[in-house]
Amino acid sequence: MLILSFEDNEEHIINNILSCLNEETEVLRQQIVNKRKLIFDGLRIDEYKRIVVREDNEIELTYTEFEILLLLAQNAGIVFSKEQIYNRVWKEPYFGDYNIVMSHIRNLREKIEDNPSKPMYIQTVWGVGYRFNKNLSSGL
């Protein structure tokens, strides 16, 4: 058994050190939480809370829809093939069923876009795949 004892001035020093460590830990925690929030024109994505808000209305997404949106939004401007999306979201090898990815993209567009036939957020790169519009502002 180990017993620590402090003189009065030593205990004060230790308490100050612990207080500083607690404050620094809270600052780091807030930074991590804030990094998990993506804000675009009219669309907010909170990875930590798994919430998507479009024009002040919370949008209910399935697990898969949220994961696809998050993947594309975190990598705005980068084109992902259907195979890449499938591999990252489903976490299993892609077997060539294009319809499942296309179906989820279509459902996602119906939920987040003003005009799903002319999408602003999720863009199609014909013959290649999909990307999130890099021209929308992003920040905290």
Q: Per-residue pLDDT tens for 92-115?
A: 887 877 789 999 999 999 999 999
pLDDT at 19 over 70: no
Instruction: Quote the DSSP letter at residue 37.
Output: E
- Average pLDDT taken over every residue of the chain: 84
Range of the domain at 44: 34-132
In a domain, 6, yes or no: no
In a domain, 74, yes or no: yes
CA distance 133 to 43: 12
Report the pLDDT averaged over residues 71-90. 95
Closest CA to 85 of 77, 76, 98: 98
CA distance 21 to 58: 36
H/E element, 131: strand 129-132
Query: Full-prediction pTM beyond 0.95?
Result: no
In a domain, 29, yes or no: no
In a domain, 72, yes or no: yes
> Into how many domains does the chain fold?
1
Q: Find where tokens 């991590």 sit.
A: 32
pLDDT of residue 31: 47
In a domain, 71, yes or no: yes
In a domain, 87, yes or no: yes
CA distance 137 to 40: 5
pLDDT at 12 over 80: no
CATH number of the domain within which 89 lies: 1.10.10.10
In a domain, 85, yes or no: yes
Q: Per-residue pLDDT tens for 25-38?
A: 555 555 444 457 99
